[in-house]
Amino acid sequence: MPVNKNLFIAHRWFDAFNAHNLEQLLALYDDNAEHFSPKLKIRKPETDGLIKGKNALRDWWQDAFDRLPTLNYKVTSLTGNENRVFMEYIRKVESEEDMLVAEVLEIKDGKIVFSRVYHG
């Protein structure tokens, strides 16, 4: 898949996330996608930071959107190649300090198959 297609997926990801549109966000993922996040380790220690499948992703993000109605990501950098996009953004939540975040999306056949979050 060309790099620009993967960057397009990343832009669609931010649009869906910032609109808190769970179905549009999930549509970008493979059914068996995996997601790793330090926040998962803290909020759901039993996962050891890793969740698998769209149902787990749905539960995770729905909880975040419900708890943090002002949650929003401001893109600072996107870099892509034929099978991955490296995203840098600022996590913004009203009454919380901004957080620098990096996230890698691994993309296969036009769908996100794995994502990993890093906090600055």
Tell me which of 3-17, 65-79, 85-99 is least confident.
3-17
Q: Which domain holds residue 88?
A: 3-119
pTM score, whole prediction: 0.93
Percent of the chain residues past pLDDT 70, beyond the cut = 98
Domain count, the chain: 1
Check whether 68 has a pLDDT greater than 60. Answer: yes
Q: What is the pLDDT of residue 4?
A: 81
The Cα-based distances of 22 to 3, 61, 64 in angstroms read 25, 7, 11
Q: Which CATH number covers residue 10? A: 3.10.450.50
Angstrom distance (rounded) from CA 86 to CA 7: 9
